[in-house]
Structure 1
Amino acid sequence: MKQAIENKGTENPVYHDTWMLLRKYRDVVWSLELSVQQVRRQFQIEFGSSIEDFLESIYLAGVDFADSGIQEHARSIERSYQMIRLMESAVSLLRNKHKFGEPYYWILYYTYLSPQQYRDTEEIIGQLQPHIQDISYRTYFRKRKEAIEALSSVLWGYTSRDSLNLLEHFFPDNGREKGPGR
């Protein structure tokens, strides 16, 4: 029974979306870094100037790259950058405002957000020791799930099902009076 309740939270699509974003975070950061460096080199080779100097000159000249691959590549980089900023903003809000924000932050950081990926859970727990005293494997996995759920609520808000369950808890249907014709 307890296992069914635990799986219920991880089967939630919102939890899954947040978990996937966290799992992809390092790859997106790395890919974005490579893309920016590649574009910078390409501009330097092709135009003999930095991107910033190039963009300033084309804006002044009124050049439009609407149908070029350059604009599409720039849009792709911008979308990735916005996703990273959204994630960082949500994690920062969680860290600073949630009642368990600080430990949740460190769990998310060492598990998903740090520049280097740790080999295994034991190494992550070792990194967590200065921030969370006496953390066991079971506590780590439980708190990791809770941290992802808390981050999900920051990223996506409460799902309508969660809101309805909360409202039902405080305002049960069976105690309400029904008006005329209902």
Structure 2
Amino acid sequence: MPHSMLAVWLPRSQLSPLPAAQPLAWLFDEGSLTRRLTALSHDAFSVTPLFEGWQVLRDDECATLQLPTGSEGWVREVYLRGHGKAWVFARSVAARSALQDGGLNMDELGSRSLGELLFCDQAFQRRAIEVCHYPRQWLPAECQASGLWGRRSRFDRGALSVLVAEIFLPALWHAACATEENS
């Protein structure tokens, strides 16, 4: 995977044109995505870990976490599922130094949601949400598609920063549309 390829992450104020109303509402929702997916799925929500381990972070991740290019960090990639369908691909990264000193055991989450952990810990400060069309090469092979909206935000607690990216997959929009039609 070429690390030089950059996604252009933008805050809402710089997005033009804006996405349609439904993706826009999900992309910039300040609440817990885990809770929103749990509600949409009527509690049929699950997390499937795809990869967890140390790897060299992408250039855009290093820049956002204020790390030197080529820094190693903890990477956690999961699917957030509703009714067993992959609705969101999530990638969370943190610097090795911050994790070793920061007391967050990302490696012990298993099938629990990192987002829920971040929202439950009042010490974490969430920075502004940024969005982009997520590069298809960065997605797992089975869900690669062009033009998928992703969002990311950085959560800070002291010296610890965790960058969480969430990419909304087509199955989520189908489920959300079906729910809206039935309500």
Q: TM-score if structure 2 supplies the norm length? A: 0.22
Q: TM-score if structure 1 supplies the norm length? A: 0.23
Pair member with larger Rg:
1
